[in-house]
Amino acid sequence: MTTAPAGTRRGRGRATVIGYVRVSTEDQAENGISLAEQRTRIKAYCAAHGLELARIASDNGRSGKATANRPGLLRALEELDDAEAEGLVVCKLDRLSRTTTDILGLVERANRDGWQLHSIHEHLDTTTAAGRFVVGILSLLAQMEREQTAERTRSALAELRRQGKRISGRPPFGYRFEGDDVIPEPEEQRILARILELRAAGLGARRIAKALNDTGTRNPRTLRWWTHGTVGDILRTAGASQQETT
């Protein structure tokens, strides 16, 4: 897959790109996908397409379900944000994420910020009508994914309530417990909305934490500055937590 925005970052002939490889424990056990094989394919692709490969970032033993816990990918995205490279090359889209929403967010981020995204396996180009059609399909799949997650969450919570069980021992960020009720906490809700807004704009947990700290916003629960780990935890639970109030 190749995204190519209308404008280019630099006026030189060969685009400088960063390769990204990832393998999880499940990949190694089930599919035999190795980091070395991915690196070889990326190098060959760059040579064939006239791309200057600056380096290859990697995340070994990392799941594809969440981008917030992958330092290799986050560092590569920061370098793209800083215009240290003009594109990102992966062997397959699932190396970036197994979540359609995350993949679509990265595609939109590439188009918005003016860098290229190459996915070797899919052979897609979003500058073409066919490529834009695929991005549209990704959008629909992401919407369906969100709705299915919400449905599963509501069903699970309804069953726990039917059994008379407490949902959790600690309220999710943005809420507090009053008896058996989950009540929005105004100050945390404001921060939660900002975190989700920054995530929707394509920022990772590390950059979200920096943005909050830069505005002097501390974690109201601990009164400490934000870390990418804390933000990552909130991002992973925010969707299900919001459903608990329905």
Q: Are residues 77 and 185 in the same domain?
A: no
What 8-state DSSP symbol labels residue 105? H
In a domain, 32, yes or no: yes
Tell me the residue range of the domain where 210 lies: 166-243
Proportion of the chain above pLDDT 90, given as a percent: 35
Q: Are residues 125 and 178 in the same domain?
A: no
Question: pLDDT digit string (tens) for 59-94?
Answer: 987 766 667 778 999 999 999 999 999 999 999 888
Residue type, position 105, single letter: G
In a domain, 158, yes or no: no
pLDDT in the model for residue 243: 35
| Both structure tokens of 145 | 């994914």
Question: pLDDT digit string (tens) for 146-173?
Answer: 677 767 767 766 665 565 455 566 778 8
CATH of the domain at 49: 3.40.50.1390
In a domain, 28, yes or no: yes
Q: Are residues 128 and 176 in the same domain?
A: no
In total, how many domains does the chain have?
A: 2
Q: Are residues 17 and 97 in the same domain?
A: yes
In a domain, 156, yes or no: no
pLDDT in the model for residue 152: 72
In a domain, 148, yes or no: no
Mean pLDDT of 108-120: 86
pLDDT at 5 over 60: no
Beta bridge partners of 119: 90
pLDDT in the model for residue 4: 52
Secondary structure E strands in 30-185? 52-60, 87-90, 116-119, 175-178, 181-184
The set of catalytic residues is 24
Q: How confident is the model at residue 245 (pLDDT cuts 50, 70, 90)?
A: very low
In a domain, 92, yes or no: yes
